Structure 1
Amino acid sequence: MTEIKHRSVPVNGITLNIAEAGEGPLVVLLHGFPESSYSYRHQLTALAEAGYHAVAPDQRGYPRSEHPASADDYSILHLVGDVVGLIGALGAPDAVVVGHDWGSPVAWNTALFRPDLVRGVVSLSVPFQPRGDIAPLDGVRAAFGEKFYQIYFQEPGVAEKELEGDTAAMFTKMFYWYSGDSPQVQNLITDENGMTGSLALPEELPSWFTAEDIAAYTAEFAEEGFTGALNWYRNIDRNWELTTAWAGAKITVPAMFLGGDKDPVVNWFDPATLELAMTPAVENLTSFGLVEGAGHWIQQERPDETNAALIAFARSVDR
Structure 2
Amino acid sequence: MTTANTPNPTPALAGVTHRDIEVNGVRLHIAEQGEGPLVLLLHGFPECWYSWRHQFAPLAAAGYHVVAPDQRGYARSAQPEDVGAYTLPHLTGDVIGLIHALGEERAVVVGHDWGAPVAWATALLRPDVVRGVAGLSVPPVPPAFLAPTALSRATYGDGFYQLYFQQPGVADAEFARDVASTFRRVLHSGSGDNPAQANPRPWVVPEGRTITDTIPEPQALPGWFTEEDVRTFAREFAGHGDRAFTGGLNWYRNIDRNWELLAAFNGARIQPPALFVVGDRDMVVALGGGPQAILDLAAQNAPNLRRTVVLPGCGHWTQQERPDEVNAALLDFLAGLDAEG
Flag whether TM exceeds 0.5 (same fold): yes
Give the structure 1 partner of residue 26 of structure 2. Answer: 14
Task: Tell me the CA shift for residue 223 of structure 1.
Answer: 2.5
Task: Tell me the CA shift for residue 217 of structure 1.
Answer: 1.0
Give the structure 2 partner of residue 253 of structure 1. Answer: 272
Task: Tell me the CA shift for residue 206 of structure 1.
Answer: 1.1
Give the structure 1 partner of residue 203 of structure 2. Answer: 188
Structure 1 regions of 5+ residues with no counterpart? none
Contact kept? 1:108, 1:123, Cα under 8 Å? yes
Residues 44-59 of structure 1 mapped to structure 2, 5 A cutoff: 44-59=56-71
1:27 partner SS: strand
Give the structure 2 partner of residue 105 of structure 1. Answer: 117
CA distance in 2 between counterparts of 1:139 and 1:196 reads 24
The counterpart of 2:237, out of the listed 221, 228, 234, is 221
| One-letter code aligned to 2:93 | G
Task: Tell me the CA shift for residue 184 of structure 1.
Answer: 1.4
Task: Tell me the CA shift for residue 135 of structure 1.
Answer: 7.0
Structure 2 regions of 5+ residues with no counterpart? 1-12
Residues 39-188 of structure 1 mapped to structure 2, 5 A cutoff: 39-131=51-143, 136-185=148-197, 186-188=201-203
Contact kept? 2:141, 2:297, Cα under 8 Å? no
CA distance in 2 between counterparts of 1:201 and 1:32 reads 21
Give the structure 2 partner of residue 201 of structure 1. Answer: 217
CA distance in 2 between counterparts of 1:290 and 1:137 reads 28
Contact kept? 2:34, 2:64, Cα under 8 Å? yes
Range 196-205 or range 69-78, more displaced? 196-205
| One-letter code aligned to 1:235 | N
Range 56-65 or range 276-285, more displaced? 276-285
CA deviations on 1:51-79 (whole Å, 9 max, x unpaired) are 10000000000111111110111111100
Contact kept? 1:148, 1:188, Cα under 8 Å? yes
CA distance in 2 between counterparts of 1:267 and 1:226 reads 25
| One-letter code aligned to 1:120 | G
CA distance in 1 between counterparts of 2:215 and 2:82 reads 32
2:278 partner SS: strand
Percent same amino acid at aligned positions?
A: 53
Task: Tell me the CA shift for residue 245 of structure 1.
Answer: 1.4
Task: Tell me the CA shift for residue 267 of structure 1.
Answer: 2.0
CA distance in 2 between counterparts of 1:37 and 1:90 reads 17
How many residues are aligned here?
318
CA deviations on 1:217-259 (whole Å, 9 max, x unpaired) are 1122222111111111111000000001111110011000001
CA deviations on 1:109-130 (whole Å, 9 max, x unpaired) are 0000000000100000001113
CA distance in 1 between counterparts of 2:37 and 2:113 reads 24
Give the structure 2 partner of residue 235 of structure 1. Answer: 254
Query: TM-score by structure 1 length?
Result: 0.96
Query: Alpha carbons of 1:206 and 1:279: their partners in 2 closer, same or farther (altered >3 Å)?
Result: same
The counterpart of 1:304, out of the listed 324, 328, 331, is 324
Contact kept? 1:47, 1:54, Cα under 8 Å? yes
| One-letter code aligned to 1:27 | V
- Structure 1 segments, 4+ long, off by >3 Å, are none
Say if 2:297 is the partner of 1:281: no
Query: TM-score by structure 2 length?
Result: 0.90
1:9 partner SS: strand
CA distance in 1 between counterparts of 2:312 and 2:217 reads 24
CA distance in 2 between counterparts of 1:303 and 1:125 reads 14
CA distance in 1 between counterparts of 2:66 and 2:95 reads 14
